């Protein structure tokens, strides 16, 4: 018998789950209140990377003398045209996903979904059918409603100077000054982008390092690069209040007693789950103290037959995690054999920051490995010693690999430098496959490539890199 599956939310978790379930022969209804692709495609991952690509092209043009060419006239950024390019990229990708869903036979309902029970979803339709509701019965339900930027009560988000990442993407004029509250991934990416456009950027972070989820050595060197770019970074510092809202600017008082005046303030201090109005209580779906849906390792909620994936379950708030969980939940929702269920496996989940320079990590850092009971050994290789990096003019950064001394198994890696958000996946495969660092190092890497830095770092775990003076 064909199983009926309703998925609420069409972001990178929901639409992936819908396509996989349709492949497996299910009758799938996908409910989305806004745009197909969710935050990632429309207001997050993709648009920010499109803007960062524009900033990278701008930096390359300004470096023409170093690369042996001359650009005539003034090189000036045009934020409106960058935004137009960003929208073209997003529209093309969204159209592609919509086509995939249509060809897979997935029924898409534009509207807001609400659980009436474990097997029933009410959809308040929007757009052409606004004001109407439909009730969809299902054998299984997957909740994939994602999250939205956290809005701290001390900031007046009705004032045009106060921005979340969503509003920052829609700016058409380059601000002369920007205060970034929070030096996590989102804050660092926007700081990198606007600094390249000529904005004077000040970053405030209440913790003791930038990119708090990353290795301390990476964070320290990353901060040094930002400071060379003219970005002021204030650690162990908080915004206490906005003391004045002007016309086109605000003044913020910091915890050290100083004040910062800026044309715009970007508040990037985390995200909150989209669980309001979902009917969770009525259906018996449990949430934690922060509002995230409680799930087990099979992505099941406290109600049998109801699953929750991606940001809404409060795990790793990453698009690729949502997609992985979408595949797992779709599989589990369609199987009747408890022994055939899949568990989510996040051991090899990469974390990526697409600033300039890029930062990426996977698995355990040296400190985390020691805390977990391993005896970690580390191998490091600098891009300044790598032929391809020098040829590209990208010598800042390094690759660091962590292994277990007893078993030689690859435990993790941290990287900073050119294209490390792509290079990190080689180590992710090694962790997922439980490879040893010697196996990783003995794999032949093409020359000259940036990936050679991974091989050299793997050799250096044993002190055997021939391109490091010992």
Residues 174 and 238 placed together within one structural domain of the fold: yes
Cis amide leading into 214 (omega within 30): no
pLDDT confidence of 128, banded at 50, 70, 90? confident
> Which structural domain range is residue 237 located in?
162-269
pLDDT value of residue 127: 75
Q: Is 149 helix (H, G, I), strand (E, B) or coil?
A: strand
**Is 157 a member of any domain?**
no
Q: At residue 129, does pLDDT exceed 80?
A: no
Residues 18 and 109 placed together within one structural domain of the fold: yes
Residues 424 and 369 placed together within one structural domain of the fold: yes
Buried b (16+ CB within 10 A) or exposed e, 226-264: beeeebebbeebebeebeeeeeebbebbbeeeeebebbb
pLDDT value of residue 458: 98
Residues 372 and 240 placed together within one structural domain of the fold: no
Q: Which residue has the tokens 């972001």?
A: 11
pLDDT digits (tens, 9 = 90+) for 70-123: 888 888 999 999 999 999 999 999 999 999 999 999 999 999 999 999 999 999
Dihedral sign for Cα atoms in the order 359, 363, 365, 367: positive
CB 35 within 8 A of CB 94: yes
pLDDT digits (tens, 9 = 90+) for 339-377: 999 999 999 999 999 999 999 999 999 999 999 999 999
**Is 371 a member of any domain?**
yes
- Single out the residue of 33, 21, 3, 14 nearest to residue 105, CA to CA: 21
pLDDT value of residue 246: 93
**Is 350 a member of any domain?**
no
Question: How much is the pTM?
Answer: 0.95
Residues 265 and 279 placed together within one structural domain of the fold: no
Q: Which residues contact 277 (CB under 8 A, 6 or more apart)?
A: 112, 114
Give me the active site residues, please. 447
pLDDT confidence of 31, banded at 50, 70, 90? very high
**Is 348 a member of any domain?**
no
**Is 183 a member of any domain?**
yes
Q: At residue 455, does pLDDT exceed 90?
A: yes
CATH code for position 115: 3.50.50.60
**Is 326 a member of any domain?**
yes
Percent of the chain surpassing pLDDT 90: 96
Residues 8 and 144 placed together within one structural domain of the fold: yes
Residues 88 and 191 placed together within one structural domain of the fold: no
pLDDT value of residue 71: 86
**Is 379 a member of any domain?**
yes
The number of domains in the chain is 3
């Amino acid at each position: 018998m064909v199983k009926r599956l309703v998925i609420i939310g069409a972001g990178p978790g929901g639409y992936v789950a819908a396509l996989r379930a349709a492949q497996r022969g299910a009758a799938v209804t996908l409910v989305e209140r806004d745009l197909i692709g969710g935050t990632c495609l429309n207001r997050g991952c993709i648009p920010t990377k499109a803007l960062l690509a524009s900033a990278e092209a701008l930096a390359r043009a300004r470096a023409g003398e170093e690369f042996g060419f001359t650009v005539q006239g003034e090189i000036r950024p045009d934020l409106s045209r960058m935004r137009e390019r960003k929208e073209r990229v997003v529209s093309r990708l969204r159209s592609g996903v919509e086509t995939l869903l249509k060809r897979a036979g997935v029924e898409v309902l534009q509207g807001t979904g609400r659980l009436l029970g474990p097997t029933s979803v009410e959809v308040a339709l929007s757009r052409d059918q606004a004001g109407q509701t439909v009730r969809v019965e299902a054998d299984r339900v997957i909740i994939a409603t994602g999250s939205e930027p956290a809005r701290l009560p001390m900031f007046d988000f009705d004032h045009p100077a106060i921005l979340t990442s969503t509003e920052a993407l829609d700016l058409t004029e380059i601000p002369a000054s920007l205060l970034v509250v929070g030096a996590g991934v989102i804050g660092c990416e926007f700081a990198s982008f606007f600094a390249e456009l000529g904005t004077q950027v000040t970053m405030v972070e209440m913790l003791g390092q930038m990119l708090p989820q990353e290795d301390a050595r990476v964070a320290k060197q990353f901060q040094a690069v930002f400071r060379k770019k003219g970005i002021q970074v204030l650690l162990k510092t908080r915004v206490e209040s906005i003391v004045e809202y002007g016309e086109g600017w605000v003044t913020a008082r910091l915890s050290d007693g100083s004040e910062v005046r800026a044309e715009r303030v970007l508040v990037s201090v985390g995200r909150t789950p989209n669980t309001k109005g979902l009917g969770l209580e009525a259906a018996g779906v449990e949430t934690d103290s922060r509002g995230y849906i409680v799930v087990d390792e099979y992505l099941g909620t406290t109600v049998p037959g109801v699953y929750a994936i991606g940001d809404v379950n409060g795990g790793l708030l990453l698009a690729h995690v949502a997609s992985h969980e979408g595949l797992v939940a779709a599989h589990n929702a369609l199987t009747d054999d408890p022994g055939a269920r899949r568990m989510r496996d996040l051991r090899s989940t990469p974390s990526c920051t697409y600033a300039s320079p890029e930062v990426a990590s996977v698995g355990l850092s040296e400190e985390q490995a020691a805390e977990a009971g391993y005896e970690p050994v580390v191998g490091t290789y600098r891009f300044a010693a790598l032929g391809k990096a020098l040829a590209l003019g990208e010598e800042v950064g390094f690759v660091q690999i962590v292994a277990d001394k007893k078993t030689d198994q690859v435990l993790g890696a941290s990287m900073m430098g050119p294209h490390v958000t792509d290079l990190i996946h080689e180590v992710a495969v090694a962790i997922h496959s439980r490879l040893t660092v010697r196996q990783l190092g003995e794999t032949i890497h093409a020359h000259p490539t940036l990936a050679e830095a991974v091989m050299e770092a793997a050799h250096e775990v044993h002190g055997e890199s021939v391109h490091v003076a010992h």
